[in-house]
Structure 1
């Protein structure tokens, strides 16, 4: 068993938990706690991304190993998740930039959207993980383009 996907999933789930705590902290006007948990969530998300990138380059991506009639719906779901994850990452960078440049008015406007999209991305990523490694036996490992397009 390859442990990297499990470690990656733990990082991303802990990232979402950290960001939920951070969001709660800012609603309670605890700025330092908000900053700590949001940065922790960001670091955990970055660790996920690094782990995913290393696994993809060194080992490859895991193909869907479930039943053939579910392959197309899985691929559509995976592509939607990938697009949403990219949007969440870009919004995260913009949100962090606003925070680090003290543009708190802009940060306050975009932050809730960013974190909600991050939560949706985390949930859809968990679904992908469960379908790839838990519910169905993992498929073969291949390059990222074959896994993403289901070829």
Structure 2
């Protein structure tokens, strides 16, 4: 393994641990500030766009449009980072909203929410490894892990939108 790959692997481990840890810590920080906009529909829209971008990116690579695929994947990463920043900003400045549904819908909501949270943490190293394998031109290994990364990432983005739509009546 080259020195560059070892360096990348070190950063993948650091970021895969640090991101969920920092998000958890920041959830406990409350800032007494009014944001100029209501963020949940904005970051849910970003998640929806990310889902669409991921699907188009897979189409692009399957149709040998590798430059388009690269641009779309970089955009998906930027959108995911933007989502995370807005999500943290919202939760640092607002009280959490309680889900008001009852019965089966409440169970469904929590199943989707919990799977979304767990997989949003699990997908971090997958995205990072997949991206590093692409930029280091290790395309065969990139393809192998992308088969797992794509459905995980797509589920996280779509389930994020579903969670928003289910809780939005209770804001």
Give, in whole Å, the separation in 2 of the partners of 1:115 and 1:69: 29
Cα drift, residue 24 of structure 1: 0.8
Q: Which residue of 1 aligns with 2:84?
A: 49
Give, in whole Å, the separation in 1 of the partners of 2:121 and 2:96: 18
SS in 1 for 2:41: helix
Q: Which residue of 2 aligns with 1:93?
A: 128
Cα drift, residue 130 of structure 1: 1.0
Cα drift, residue 122 of structure 1: 2.1
Q: Which residue of 2 aligns with 1:61?
A: 96
Give, in whole Å, the separation in 2 of the partners of 1:13 and 1:73: 20
Give, in whole Å, the separation in 2 of the partners of 1:70 and 1:19: 28
Do the aligned partners of residues 68 and 35 (structure 1) sit closer, same or farther apart at CA in structure 2, a change above 3 Å counting? same
User: Which runs of no fewer than 5 residues in structure 1 stay unpaired?
Assistant: 139-151
Do the aligned partners of residues 132 and 27 (structure 1) sit closer, same or farther apart at CA in structure 2, a change above 3 Å counting? same
Counterpart check, 1:132 vs 2:155: no
Q: Which residue of 1 aligns with 2:156?
A: 121
Size of the alignment, in residue pairs? 135
Q: Which residue of 1 aligns with 2:5?
A: none
Report if aligned partners of 1:84, 1:117 keep a CA contact under 8 Å in 2.
yes
SS in 1 for 2:137: coil
Length-normalised TM-score, structure 1: 0.80
User: Which runs of no fewer than 5 residues in structure 2 stay unpaired?
Assistant: 1-36
Q: Which residue of 2 aligns with 1:31?
A: 66
Give the superposed CA RMSD: 1.9
SS in 1 for 2:111: helix
Give, in whole Å, the separation in 2 of the partners of 1:132 and 1:90: 28
Report if aligned partners of 2:57, 2:72 keep a CA contact under 8 Å in 1.
yes
SS in 2 for 1:79: helix
